[in-house]
A and B are shown apart, each in its own frame.
Chain A
Protein backbone atom coordinates (compact mmCIF):
# COMPACT_ATOMS: atom_id res chain seq x y z
CA UNK A 1 0.00 0.00 0.00
CA UNK A 2 1.36 3.38 -1.00
CA UNK A 3 0.55 5.81 1.78
CA UNK A 4 1.07 9.54 1.68
CA UNK A 5 1.78 10.77 5.22
CA UNK A 6 0.32 14.18 6.00
CA UNK A 7 2.04 15.08 9.25
CA UNK A 8 -0.06 18.25 9.87
CA UNK A 9 1.27 21.70 10.62
CA UNK A 10 1.04 21.29 14.38
CA UNK A 11 3.06 18.09 14.38
CA UNK A 12 5.56 19.62 11.96
CA UNK A 13 6.17 22.59 14.21
CA UNK A 14 5.56 21.36 17.72
CA UNK A 15 6.13 17.60 17.95
CA UNK A 16 8.00 16.09 15.03
CA UNK A 17 8.40 12.89 17.03
CA UNK A 18 4.70 12.20 16.43
CA UNK A 19 5.33 12.33 12.69
CA UNK A 20 8.21 9.90 13.01
CA UNK A 21 6.11 7.62 15.21
CA UNK A 22 3.36 7.58 12.57
CA UNK A 23 5.95 6.83 9.90
CA UNK A 24 7.34 3.96 11.94
CA UNK A 25 3.89 2.48 12.55
CA UNK A 26 2.86 2.69 8.90
CA UNK A 27 6.08 1.03 7.79
CA UNK A 28 5.70 -1.66 10.42
CA UNK A 29 2.23 -2.25 8.99
CA UNK A 30 3.81 -2.98 5.65
CA UNK A 31 3.13 0.30 3.88
CA UNK A 32 5.38 2.13 1.50
CA UNK A 33 5.26 5.64 2.98
CA UNK A 34 5.91 8.80 1.03
CA UNK A 35 6.10 12.21 2.68
CA UNK A 36 5.40 14.89 0.08
CA UNK A 37 7.86 17.55 1.14
CA UNK A 38 5.87 20.57 -0.01
CA UNK A 39 3.04 19.79 2.42
CA UNK A 40 1.99 22.55 4.76
CA UNK A 41 -1.58 23.10 6.01
CA UNK A 42 -4.86 21.32 5.18
CA UNK A 43 -6.76 24.61 5.30
CA UNK A 44 -8.88 23.92 8.34
CA UNK A 45 -8.06 27.12 10.28
CA UNK A 46 -9.14 29.17 7.26
CA UNK A 47 -12.22 27.04 6.64
CA UNK A 48 -13.47 27.20 10.21
CA UNK A 49 -12.86 30.92 10.36
CA UNK A 50 -15.02 31.47 7.31
CA UNK A 51 -12.24 32.25 4.83
CA UNK A 52 -13.34 29.88 2.08
CA UNK A 53 -11.00 31.37 -0.49
CA UNK A 54 -7.87 30.57 1.49
CA UNK A 55 -9.22 27.18 2.51
CA UNK A 56 -9.93 26.29 -1.09
CA UNK A 57 -6.48 27.30 -2.24
CA UNK A 58 -4.85 25.13 0.41
CA UNK A 59 -7.18 22.22 -0.36
CA UNK A 60 -6.24 22.32 -4.02
CA UNK A 61 -2.56 22.42 -3.09
CA UNK A 62 -2.93 19.38 -0.85
CA UNK A 63 -4.94 17.57 -3.50
CA UNK A 64 -2.19 18.06 -6.03
CA UNK A 65 0.49 16.87 -3.60
CA UNK A 66 -1.31 13.73 -2.45
CA UNK A 67 -3.46 12.72 -5.37
CA UNK A 68 -1.07 10.08 -6.58
CA UNK A 69 -1.03 8.23 -3.27
CA UNK A 70 -3.18 5.20 -2.75
CA UNK A 71 -4.03 6.43 0.74
CA UNK A 72 -3.54 9.62 2.69
CA UNK A 73 -2.99 9.17 6.42
CA UNK A 74 -2.72 11.85 9.08
CA UNK A 75 -2.05 11.49 12.82
CA UNK A 76 -4.98 13.84 13.43
CA UNK A 77 -8.74 13.43 13.47
CA UNK A 78 -9.03 17.14 12.84
CA UNK A 79 -7.01 17.29 9.61
CA UNK A 80 -8.16 13.91 8.33
CA UNK A 81 -11.70 15.04 9.11
CA UNK A 82 -11.19 18.26 7.18
CA UNK A 83 -9.98 16.40 4.11
CA UNK A 84 -12.50 13.60 4.37
CA UNK A 85 -15.68 15.49 5.18
CA UNK A 86 -15.18 19.11 4.10
CA UNK A 87 -13.02 19.14 0.98
CA UNK A 88 -16.07 18.29 -1.14
CA UNK A 89 -17.69 21.51 0.07
CA UNK A 90 -14.72 23.52 -1.18
CA UNK A 91 -14.74 22.24 -4.76
CA UNK A 92 -17.19 24.93 -5.81
CA UNK A 93 -18.53 25.02 -9.34
CA UNK A 94 -15.98 22.75 -11.00
CA UNK A 95 -17.33 19.23 -11.41
CA UNK A 96 -13.94 17.85 -12.32
CA UNK A 97 -12.44 19.26 -9.14
CA UNK A 98 -15.35 17.95 -7.14
CA UNK A 99 -14.71 14.45 -8.47
CA UNK A 100 -11.02 14.67 -7.62
CA UNK A 101 -11.77 15.98 -4.13
CA UNK A 102 -14.26 13.19 -3.55
CA UNK A 103 -11.72 10.62 -4.63
CA UNK A 104 -9.08 12.06 -2.31
CA UNK A 105 -11.52 12.29 0.57
CA UNK A 106 -12.51 8.66 0.29
CA UNK A 107 -8.85 7.61 0.50
CA UNK A 108 -7.97 9.76 3.51
CA UNK A 109 -7.80 8.30 7.01
CA UNK A 110 -6.91 9.18 10.54
CA UNK A 111 -3.93 7.10 11.65
CA UNK A 112 -5.53 4.63 14.08
CA UNK A 113 -8.53 4.17 11.81
CA UNK A 114 -6.19 3.31 8.93
CA UNK A 115 -4.07 0.93 10.99
CA UNK A 116 -7.09 -1.01 12.25
CA UNK A 117 -9.51 -0.95 9.34
CA UNK A 118 -7.28 -0.79 6.28
CA UNK A 119 -3.86 -2.14 7.24
CA UNK A 120 -5.34 -4.58 9.77
CA UNK A 121 -2.23 -3.99 11.85
CA UNK A 122 -1.75 -6.36 14.76
CA UNK A 123 1.93 -6.03 15.68
CA UNK A 124 2.03 -2.85 17.69
CA UNK A 125 5.69 -2.37 18.70
CA UNK A 126 4.99 -0.18 21.73
CA UNK A 127 5.94 -1.28 25.23
CA UNK A 128 4.40 1.41 27.43
CA UNK A 129 4.03 0.36 31.06
CA UNK A 130 1.44 2.27 33.02
CA UNK A 131 -2.11 3.52 33.29
CA UNK A 132 -3.61 5.77 30.67
CA UNK A 133 -6.87 7.49 29.89
CA UNK A 134 -7.99 8.37 26.36
CA UNK A 135 -9.45 11.65 25.08
CA UNK A 136 -11.73 11.28 22.05
CA UNK A 137 -11.27 14.38 19.94
CA UNK A 138 -14.47 15.90 18.56
CA UNK A 139 -13.55 15.69 14.90
CA UNK A 140 -12.07 12.21 15.21
CA UNK A 141 -15.15 10.92 16.98
CA UNK A 142 -18.01 12.83 15.41
CA UNK A 143 -16.67 13.40 11.90
CA UNK A 144 -14.76 10.17 11.40
CA UNK A 145 -16.14 7.68 13.90
CA UNK A 146 -12.78 7.15 15.61
CA UNK A 147 -13.52 5.52 18.95
CA UNK A 148 -12.73 1.83 19.11
CA UNK A 149 -9.72 1.96 16.80
CA UNK A 150 -7.16 3.55 19.14
CA UNK A 151 -8.42 1.42 22.00
CA UNK A 152 -8.07 -1.74 19.93
CA UNK A 153 -4.46 -0.85 19.14
CA UNK A 154 -3.65 0.07 22.74
CA UNK A 155 -5.16 -3.23 23.85
CA UNK A 156 -2.38 -4.98 21.99
CA UNK A 157 0.03 -3.65 24.61
CA UNK A 158 -0.14 -5.75 27.79
CA UNK A 159 1.60 -3.11 29.89
CA UNK A 160 -1.13 -0.54 29.25
CA UNK A 161 -4.00 -0.27 31.71
CA UNK A 162 -6.77 1.89 30.21
CA UNK A 163 -9.01 3.81 32.62
CA UNK A 164 -11.85 5.56 30.81
CA UNK A 165 -12.54 9.04 32.13
CA UNK A 166 -15.93 10.57 32.65
CA UNK A 167 -16.74 12.76 29.67
CA UNK A 168 -14.07 11.20 27.44
CA UNK A 169 -16.15 12.21 24.42
CA UNK A 170 -16.62 15.80 25.53
CA UNK A 171 -14.83 18.70 23.95
CA UNK A 172 -11.55 19.78 25.60
CA UNK A 173 -12.13 23.41 24.69
CA UNK A 174 -9.40 23.78 22.07
CA UNK A 175 -11.53 24.39 18.96
CA UNK A 176 -8.60 25.74 16.93
CA UNK A 177 -8.82 29.51 16.70
CA UNK A 178 -11.40 29.43 19.49
CA UNK A 179 -8.56 28.86 21.94
CA UNK A 180 -7.04 32.22 21.09
CA UNK A 181 -10.26 34.16 20.45
CA UNK A 182 -12.01 33.11 23.64
CA UNK A 183 -9.03 32.10 25.72
CA UNK A 184 -10.64 32.37 29.13
CA UNK A 185 -13.63 30.30 28.10
CA UNK A 186 -11.41 27.77 26.35
CA UNK A 187 -9.24 27.40 29.44
CA UNK A 188 -12.32 26.96 31.63
CA UNK A 189 -13.57 24.10 29.45
CA UNK A 190 -10.05 22.63 29.46
CA UNK A 191 -10.01 22.73 33.23
CA UNK A 192 -13.08 20.49 33.40
CA UNK A 193 -11.43 18.05 31.02
CA UNK A 194 -8.28 18.07 33.15
CA UNK A 195 -10.33 17.43 36.29
CA UNK A 196 -11.80 14.34 34.60
CA UNK A 197 -8.34 13.21 33.53
CA UNK A 198 -6.85 13.62 36.98
CA UNK A 199 -9.82 11.88 38.56
CA UNK A 200 -8.78 8.66 36.82
CA UNK A 201 -5.39 8.78 38.51
CA UNK A 202 -3.76 7.72 35.27
CA UNK A 203 -0.07 8.12 34.52
CA UNK A 204 -0.84 9.55 31.10
CA UNK A 205 -3.55 11.10 29.02
CA UNK A 206 -3.42 9.89 25.43
CA UNK A 207 -5.21 11.20 22.36
CA UNK A 208 -5.10 11.35 18.60
CA UNK A 209 -5.06 15.11 18.04
CA UNK A 210 -2.13 17.36 18.91
CA UNK A 211 -4.28 20.47 19.18
CA UNK A 212 -6.29 18.89 21.99
CA UNK A 213 -3.13 17.54 23.62
CA UNK A 214 -1.32 20.88 23.65
CA UNK A 215 -4.41 22.48 25.16
CA UNK A 216 -4.67 19.80 27.81
CA UNK A 217 -0.97 19.79 28.58
CA UNK A 218 -0.89 23.57 28.90
CA UNK A 219 -3.80 23.47 31.31
CA UNK A 220 -2.45 20.60 33.41
CA UNK A 221 0.88 22.34 33.88
CA UNK A 222 -0.76 25.65 34.79
CA UNK A 223 -2.85 23.73 37.31
CA UNK A 224 0.41 22.57 38.88
CA UNK A 225 0.33 19.04 37.50
CA UNK A 226 3.79 18.20 36.21
CA UNK A 227 3.32 14.47 36.64
CA UNK A 228 0.62 13.45 34.18
CA UNK A 229 2.22 12.62 30.86
CA UNK A 230 0.50 13.97 27.77
CA UNK A 231 1.08 11.66 24.82
CA UNK A 232 -0.10 11.23 21.27
CA UNK A 233 -1.37 7.72 20.59
CA UNK A 234 1.22 7.32 17.81
CA UNK A 235 4.05 7.84 20.31
CA UNK A 236 2.64 5.22 22.65
CA UNK A 237 1.98 2.67 19.92
CA UNK A 238 5.38 3.18 18.29
CA UNK A 239 7.24 2.53 21.49
CA UNK A 240 8.58 6.06 21.87
CA UNK A 241 6.94 6.48 25.25
CA UNK A 242 8.10 4.08 27.90
CA UNK A 243 5.97 4.63 30.92
CA UNK A 244 5.36 6.66 34.02
CA UNK A 245 8.28 8.65 35.24
Chain B
Protein backbone atom coordinates (compact mmCIF):
# COMPACT_ATOMS: atom_id res chain seq x y z
CA UNK B 1 0.00 0.00 0.00
CA UNK B 2 1.40 3.43 -0.80
CA UNK B 3 1.95 5.92 1.98
CA UNK B 4 -0.78 8.03 0.45
CA UNK B 5 -3.32 5.23 0.63
CA UNK B 6 -2.22 4.29 4.11
CA UNK B 7 -2.47 7.84 5.49
CA UNK B 8 -5.70 8.80 3.71
CA UNK B 9 -7.16 5.41 4.54
CA UNK B 10 -6.63 5.90 8.25
CA UNK B 11 -7.97 9.44 8.13
CA UNK B 12 -11.09 8.18 6.34
CA UNK B 13 -11.55 5.38 8.84
CA UNK B 14 -11.24 7.73 11.82
CA UNK B 15 -13.80 10.08 10.29
CA UNK B 16 -16.22 7.28 9.53
CA UNK B 17 -16.07 8.02 5.85
CA UNK B 18 -18.72 6.29 3.71
CA UNK B 19 -19.60 6.73 0.07
CA UNK B 20 -22.71 8.66 0.94
CA UNK B 21 -21.08 11.08 3.35
CA UNK B 22 -18.22 11.52 0.90
CA UNK B 23 -20.70 12.74 -1.67
CA UNK B 24 -22.39 15.14 0.72
CA UNK B 25 -18.99 16.15 2.08
CA UNK B 26 -17.71 17.06 -1.35
CA UNK B 27 -20.84 19.01 -2.08
CA UNK B 28 -20.35 20.99 1.12
CA UNK B 29 -16.70 21.50 0.24
CA UNK B 30 -17.57 22.83 -3.21
CA UNK B 31 -20.23 25.09 -1.75
CA UNK B 32 -17.76 26.50 0.76
CA UNK B 33 -15.13 27.11 -1.93
CA UNK B 34 -17.71 28.95 -3.97
CA UNK B 35 -19.04 31.03 -1.06
CA UNK B 36 -15.60 31.80 0.41
CA UNK B 37 -17.03 33.57 3.48
CA UNK B 38 -14.83 36.12 5.21
CA UNK B 39 -14.09 35.99 8.92
CA UNK B 40 -14.48 38.92 11.36
CA UNK B 41 -12.58 41.96 10.15
CA UNK B 42 -11.53 45.09 12.02
CA UNK B 43 -13.23 48.27 10.84
CA UNK B 44 -10.84 50.10 8.52
CA UNK B 45 -12.73 53.21 7.63
CA UNK B 46 -11.82 56.61 6.41
CA UNK B 47 -8.67 57.54 4.61
CA UNK B 48 -7.02 54.31 3.51
CA UNK B 49 -3.97 56.12 2.18
CA UNK B 50 -3.36 57.87 5.49
CA UNK B 51 -3.73 54.63 7.40
CA UNK B 52 -1.41 52.80 5.02
CA UNK B 53 1.15 55.54 5.44
CA UNK B 54 0.93 55.51 9.23
CA UNK B 55 1.11 51.71 9.51
CA UNK B 56 4.04 51.50 7.10
CA UNK B 57 6.01 54.00 9.14
CA UNK B 58 5.32 51.99 12.30
CA UNK B 59 6.99 49.06 10.55
CA UNK B 60 10.08 51.18 9.85
CA UNK B 61 9.41 51.73 6.17
CA UNK B 62 9.80 55.30 4.99
CA UNK B 63 6.98 56.81 2.98
CA UNK B 64 6.62 59.83 0.73
CA UNK B 65 4.00 61.09 -1.68
CA UNK B 66 4.15 62.39 -5.24
CA UNK B 67 1.28 63.55 -7.42
CA UNK B 68 2.18 61.76 -10.67
CA UNK B 69 4.31 58.82 -11.76
CA UNK B 70 6.76 61.12 -13.58
CA UNK B 71 7.74 62.69 -10.27
CA UNK B 72 8.82 59.34 -8.84
CA UNK B 73 12.44 59.33 -10.10
CA UNK B 74 13.20 62.73 -8.50
CA UNK B 75 11.71 61.59 -5.21
CA UNK B 76 13.71 58.37 -5.26
CA UNK B 77 16.92 60.15 -6.18
CA UNK B 78 16.44 62.55 -3.25
CA UNK B 79 15.88 59.64 -0.89
CA UNK B 80 19.00 57.81 -2.08
CA UNK B 81 21.15 60.92 -1.80
CA UNK B 82 19.83 61.72 1.67
CA UNK B 83 20.77 58.23 2.83
CA UNK B 84 24.12 58.28 1.03
CA UNK B 85 23.14 55.35 -1.13
CA UNK B 86 24.15 54.47 -4.66
CA UNK B 87 22.16 55.93 -7.55
CA UNK B 88 22.51 52.74 -9.55
CA UNK B 89 19.45 50.51 -9.43
CA UNK B 90 17.56 47.72 -11.13
CA UNK B 91 13.84 47.82 -11.75
CA UNK B 92 10.89 45.94 -13.15
CA UNK B 93 10.56 46.39 -16.93
CA UNK B 94 7.26 48.27 -16.57
CA UNK B 95 9.03 51.06 -14.67
CA UNK B 96 11.91 51.51 -17.11
CA UNK B 97 10.14 54.25 -19.05
CA UNK B 98 10.02 56.65 -16.08
CA UNK B 99 12.49 59.58 -16.36
CA UNK B 100 15.29 58.05 -14.23
CA UNK B 101 18.14 59.55 -16.24
CA UNK B 102 16.80 63.06 -15.74
CA UNK B 103 16.91 62.46 -12.01
CA UNK B 104 20.57 61.48 -12.23
CA UNK B 105 19.96 57.77 -11.73
CA UNK B 106 21.23 54.76 -13.67
CA UNK B 107 18.40 52.24 -13.68
CA UNK B 108 18.59 48.95 -15.57
CA UNK B 109 15.47 46.94 -16.33
CA UNK B 110 16.74 43.42 -15.67
CA UNK B 111 16.39 40.77 -12.97
CA UNK B 112 18.19 41.53 -9.70
CA UNK B 113 21.40 39.68 -8.88
CA UNK B 114 23.16 39.15 -5.57
CA UNK B 115 25.23 42.28 -6.01
CA UNK B 116 22.55 44.80 -6.90
CA UNK B 117 22.06 47.27 -4.09
CA UNK B 118 18.83 49.06 -5.02
CA UNK B 119 15.72 47.30 -6.36
CA UNK B 120 12.71 49.22 -7.63
CA UNK B 121 9.31 47.62 -7.93
CA UNK B 122 5.70 48.57 -8.19
CA UNK B 123 3.09 46.51 -6.40
CA UNK B 124 -0.08 44.62 -7.21
CA UNK B 125 -1.83 46.42 -4.39
CA UNK B 126 -1.28 47.49 -0.78
CA UNK B 127 -3.11 46.89 2.50
CA UNK B 128 -4.03 49.79 4.76
CA UNK B 129 -4.88 47.50 7.68
CA UNK B 130 -1.26 46.63 8.36
CA UNK B 131 0.86 48.85 6.08
CA UNK B 132 1.65 45.94 3.76
CA UNK B 133 2.69 45.72 0.10
CA UNK B 134 1.36 42.87 -2.03
CA UNK B 135 3.62 41.86 -4.89
CA UNK B 136 2.59 39.20 -7.41
CA UNK B 137 5.26 37.40 -9.41
CA UNK B 138 5.26 37.17 -13.21
CA UNK B 139 7.90 37.36 -15.96
CA UNK B 140 7.74 41.16 -15.73
CA UNK B 141 7.43 41.41 -11.95
CA UNK B 142 10.03 38.96 -10.60
CA UNK B 143 9.98 38.29 -6.85
CA UNK B 144 13.71 38.57 -6.26
CA UNK B 145 13.69 42.30 -7.09
CA UNK B 146 12.18 43.07 -3.68
CA UNK B 147 14.36 40.55 -1.88
CA UNK B 148 18.00 40.54 -2.98
CA UNK B 149 18.94 44.23 -2.99
CA UNK B 150 19.75 45.99 0.28
CA UNK B 151 17.27 48.76 -0.47
CA UNK B 152 13.79 48.16 -1.81
CA UNK B 153 11.94 51.07 -3.40
CA UNK B 154 8.23 50.38 -3.90
CA UNK B 155 5.98 52.57 -6.05
CA UNK B 156 2.38 52.38 -4.84
CA UNK B 157 -0.49 53.97 -6.79
CA UNK B 158 -2.86 55.41 -4.20
CA UNK B 159 -5.90 53.83 -5.85
CA UNK B 160 -4.36 50.39 -5.29
CA UNK B 161 -4.38 50.82 -1.51
CA UNK B 162 -7.12 48.53 -0.22
CA UNK B 163 -8.46 47.93 3.28
CA UNK B 164 -7.34 44.37 4.00
CA UNK B 165 -6.11 41.03 2.76
CA UNK B 166 -9.54 39.74 1.79
CA UNK B 167 -9.90 42.65 -0.64
CA UNK B 168 -6.50 41.83 -2.10
CA UNK B 169 -7.50 38.21 -2.76
CA UNK B 170 -10.67 39.34 -4.51
CA UNK B 171 -8.71 41.76 -6.67
CA UNK B 172 -6.23 39.05 -7.59
CA UNK B 173 -9.03 36.67 -8.55
CA UNK B 174 -10.67 39.38 -10.65
CA UNK B 175 -7.54 40.60 -12.44
CA UNK B 176 -5.28 37.57 -12.57
CA UNK B 177 -7.77 34.71 -12.63
CA UNK B 178 -5.64 32.48 -10.49
CA UNK B 179 -2.93 33.21 -7.94
CA UNK B 180 0.55 33.61 -9.45
CA UNK B 181 3.53 31.51 -8.50
CA UNK B 182 4.52 33.80 -5.68
CA UNK B 183 2.42 36.31 -3.80
CA UNK B 184 4.64 38.19 -1.39
CA UNK B 185 3.15 40.41 1.28
CA UNK B 186 5.92 42.72 2.45
CA UNK B 187 5.61 44.69 5.68
CA UNK B 188 8.75 46.71 6.13
CA UNK B 189 12.45 45.91 6.05
CA UNK B 190 13.49 42.36 6.91
CA UNK B 191 14.07 41.80 10.61
CA UNK B 192 14.86 39.21 13.23
CA UNK B 193 14.38 39.02 16.98
CA UNK B 194 16.10 35.70 17.48
CA UNK B 195 18.88 37.03 19.67
CA UNK B 196 17.44 37.99 23.06
CA UNK B 197 14.13 38.89 21.43
CA UNK B 198 15.72 42.19 20.34
CA UNK B 199 14.49 43.33 16.95
CA UNK B 200 17.20 44.05 14.40
CA UNK B 201 16.34 45.39 10.96
CA UNK B 202 18.03 43.96 7.90
CA UNK B 203 18.27 40.22 8.44
CA UNK B 204 18.48 38.43 5.07
CA UNK B 205 16.18 40.63 3.03
CA UNK B 206 16.43 44.39 2.46
CA UNK B 207 17.68 46.70 5.20
CA UNK B 208 15.29 49.39 4.21
CA UNK B 209 12.03 49.86 2.34
CA UNK B 210 11.12 53.20 0.85
CA UNK B 211 7.57 53.62 -0.38
CA UNK B 212 6.50 56.28 -2.87
CA UNK B 213 2.74 56.75 -3.00
CA UNK B 214 1.55 58.16 -6.29
CA UNK B 215 -1.63 60.22 -6.52
CA UNK B 216 -2.66 60.23 -2.89
CA UNK B 217 -3.39 63.50 -1.14
CA UNK B 218 -0.39 63.54 1.19
Direct contact of A and B (CB under 8 A): no
